[in-house]
Amino acid sequence: MQATTSVSHPRRILVTGGAGFIGSFLIERLLARGDEVLCVDNYFTGTRKNIAHLLDHPMLEVMRHDVTFPLYVEVDQIFNLACPASPVHYQFDPVQTTKTSVHGAINMLGLAKRTKAKFFQASTSEVYGDPVVHPQTESYWGNVNPIGLRACYDEGKRCAETLCFDYHRQHKVRIKVARIFNTYGPRMHPNDGRVVSNFIVQALKGDPITLFGDGSQTRSFCYVDDLVDAFLMFMENTPDEFVGPMNLGNPGEFTIRQLAELVVELTGSKSKIEYRPLPQDDPKQRKPDISLAKGMIGWEPKVPLRDGLSRTIDYFRHVVAKG
């Protein structure tokens, strides 16, 4: 099954966090199939550079706006992607991070209720915390520290899911909740602290690669194009009564040390690995069970880690060269 690539008439689609890494790729796809797109971003972690090549598109409107405040527009669909997603950024202002997830969801769900728009919530694998069930299925309730350094993001997203389901049950809002696992690709913020961008930038600069813990902790990495495919297929190719949550990620599991070694190989870097203490509540393992996505929308990732990393490295070569 493939995502719908064209529409019979333009739909008005709001993308919050649209100038972010994932949001910018989603907007590209929506415009390519003929939708009218309203990109909303407060540019805390997003940047106009990510959508600069789209700014002259006649079907795109860009608005600087913080989703913790209400927004009054007319739309047919809402993709709620607004929230800093890396520890460096979401821990910079943890109160604002929680507000973005919770108040942002309330405001955007309220908009969906008023306009009868279909609503897509970008949730996260962080709702599983440091999981004791492996791989993680959607039925797993998670192992989250509600008062830890990561709780502003983890619990904020868990509350956003709660709000989605209550708006669905109480107000009949049509929702789709996706739990996104580690995603990477071009346009990642070079200083966001995420492991892929960290390792690539350090390798390209010839700096030591900082590896937290002993490197045995695992992650599963999904290339951004695969993820956007899943977004569109989930929204377009499932009945309204199927709301999720749905895991979206690549079930290929790698240790962080394997990732570091692969980045060194692909960049041709002479960087050495330096070990640092593991941060508080950092998950020891993370791997999605995507049986539901396979069964419901016929989706599974296509881009192998080596290929996706090569494309991402090419992007960061230009970023690092510009300083």
Which burial class, exposed, middle or buried, applies to 4 when counting CB atoms under 10 A from its CB (0-12, 13-18, 19+)?
exposed
Per-position DSSP letters for 87-102, written without gaps between them: HHHHTTSHHHHHHHHH
| Neighbour tally for 153: CB within 10 Å | 25
Q: Residues 216, 220, 224, CA angle at the centre, nearest 5°? A: 145
**Coil/strand/helix, residue 34:** coil
How far is the C-alpha of 277 from the C-alpha of 285, rounded, in Å?
16
Q: What is the radius of gyration, based on Cα positions, of the chain?
A: 19
Helix (H) or strand (E) holding 226: helix 224-236
Mention every residue, 6+ apart, whose C-beta is less than 8 A from residue 25.
185, 187, 224, 225, 228
- Asked if residues 6 and 30 have their Cβ atoms less than 8 Å apart, the reply is no
Q: Is 153 a catalytic residue?
A: yes
How far is the C-alpha of 131 from the C-alpha of 247, rounded, in Å?
14
For residue 136 the two structure tokens come to: 């993680």
The catalytically annotated residue of 153, 167, 184, 223 is: 153
User: Do you find a cis peptide bond into 135, omega within 30 degrees of 0?
Assistant: yes
Of the candidates 203, 204, 197, the residue with the CA atom closest to the CA atom of residue 88:
197
How far is the C-alpha of 176 from the C-alpha of 159, rounded, in Å?
15
- Catalytic center residues: 153
